[in-house]
Amino acid sequence: MLNNPAQASMEHVYFESAGLILVFISLGKYLEELTKGRTSQAIKKLIGLQAKTALVIKGDLEIVTPIEKLVVGDIIKIKPGGKIPTDGEIIEGHSTIDEKMLTGESIPVEKKIGEMVIGATINKTGMIKIKALKVGEDTMLSQIVKTVEEAIGSKAPIQLLADRVSFYFVPGVFVIAIVTFFIWLALGQSFVFALTVFVAVLIIACPCSLGLATPTAVMMGTGLAAQHGILMKNSKALETANKIDVFVFDKTGTLTVGEPEVTDVIAIEADEKTVLGIAASIEQHSEHPLAEAVVNAAKEKKIKLKSTTKFENLAGQGVTAKLNNKTLLLGNRSMMTDNKIKFEKHEEQIKKLENEGKTTVILASDKKIIGFIAIADVLKKETPQAIAKLKKMGKQVWMLTGDNQRVAQAIAKDLNLDGLLSEVLPHQKAEKIKELQAKEGKVAMVGDGINDAPAIAQSDLGIAMASGTDIAMETGDIVLIKNNLNSVINAIDISHYSLNKIKQNLFWAFFYNTVGIPIAAGVLFPFTGILLNPAVAALAMAFSSVSVVTNSLTMKFYKTK
């Protein structure tokens, strides 16, 4: 005979509870797997971007070939509107390519012979032929998928905290359940009553939601980043991006375009078009990068180049040539001095350009200065905006470069940087990062070259530009596919958003257990006569896990600021 109605009711539902517990736990696991499956949707979408076949040219034949059978060197024809099946170089035709699915950039990019195209992007306008350079697992899309999968599989530092808590939590709950069992026996309740409470405590305290709190948010966060052209190579990068104190940027190819451009043409004895045309006519015979910049500037302005003779390259000074029987000189001060050409009255103008970080060449003929041309590796369009945003977020921004102090100082002044480290040799860059870490806190290094790899490896967060060298991308924790510095801002924002979701998930996981365990232990029973049925505990446990995963799923509605 039982002592109270609660015990009597337990006799009638004991076996039903056992069945319902199994049902609710199974239901919870099913819903958990269903919702977890959705968190990998970003990877599935990426894989689904691939073309299934390619039109390979073999002699006079065009053969439809599965992309799995493509080999490096295959010549592939892509019609307008078709998907590009693999990474390659355009060898015939030109077109606009929609790269939105990989870079997030909505505006199609003009591509011509000699330029690279990426597999899974869309050929919009013209028919092109490409030579396959990377196939299978070597393509950019495959590397993105692999990187995202590895990031999902890795553990963020905050996950280690959850793991440590779970390590003590499970035996702690078991102790609570045993103590509760004996307390109810000591208070005169039956063995069935005490056992029911014991089981309810164990079931409701299942740490499933605690274990899901971090990985589900990490899966969604890395997927979001990939959709915005940001490859998080591990979950540590996802968490660390939000905690960086100092962002250090390489100059060439990162803050700047990476190629010299003509910035100023100043005419003295002729108009600007004439000065640029003469200079380009001389430089068309030179292979120097500055010469290429001058020739490209003339071509952009559709200036017709003239034929010159007796071209000569004078090392360390400049170049000379004959045009219409006149000797033309294009070079630095040393060349002008050696040829007794006076330029002193223009010195202030030349110094002004040089103080702006520009290399200035002087054009002269018949002992007279005709004009000047200023050349510089100009800042990328988005650089000033990105740097201003970082500073607004309270981050320090430094530049680390091997370039000379004058050029570096001009750029640092334009961007209002917090610090500058110039004329640093490649092997010294890692040491400079280490010094910054000791003085300023967590440091991120953003670069693109082989010489940046040691600094990227030393930093707390290495960020590599996808346009850079393979070693820089391999070393970095984050790769920016867009090669756009605004992606650094998006990476920080996604990191902040993901970390907040992880914290929310951990809160709800602990909240369920904090509220659920005492109720399951029967603290309300003496006052209300209510005792938590193990079946209800199983249902609560299942939905605690589902609620955590559902909160992570809401991340798919994230929009960049």
Which is nearest to 536 in space by CA: 190, 199, 171?
Answer: 199
Q: State the average pLDDT over residues 531-549.
A: 74
Task: Read off the pLDDT of residues 90-124 as tens digits, 9 standing for 90 and up.
Answer: 999 988 888 766 554 445 677 889 988 988 888 88
Euclidean distance between CA atoms 98 and 93, whole angstroms = 16
Tokens of 514: 């904090």
Helical segments of 241-369, H only: 272-283, 289-300, 333-338, 347-355
Q: Across all residues in the chain, what is the average pLDDT?
A: 81
Give the pLDDT score at 159.
59
Residue 260, pLDDT > 60, answer: yes
Task: Read off the pLDDT of residues 471-511 as tens digits, 9 standing for 90 and up.
Answer: 556 777 888 888 889 999 999 999 999 989 988 888 887 77
CB 316 within 8 A of CB 334: yes
**DSSP-derived 3-state class of residue 61:** strand
Domain ranges of the chain: 5-39+147-220+494-557, 70-134, 231-257+380-492, 261-376
CB 104 within 8 A of CB 229: yes
Q: Does domain 261-376 have CATH number 3.40.1110.10?
A: yes
Give the pLDDT score at 391.
94
Predicted TM-score of the model (pTM): 0.66
Q: State the average pLDDT over residues 515-523.
A: 80
Which is nearest to 85 in space by CA: 58, 54, 60?
Answer: 54
Helical segments of 49-190, H only: 100-103, 140-153, 157-186
Positions annotated as catalytic residues are 250
What DSSP line would sit under 431-481, residue for residue? HHHHHHHHHHS-EEEEE-SGGGHHHHHHSSEEEEETTS-HHHHHH-SEEET
523 — pLDDT class (breaks 50, 70, 90): confident
Class of domain 70-134: mainly beta
Tokens of 81: 């509107």
Class of domain 231-257+380-492: alpha beta
DSSP structural state of residue 270: S
Q: Which residue has the tokens 């109605």?
A: 5
∠ CA(128), CA(130), CA(135), 5° rounding?
140
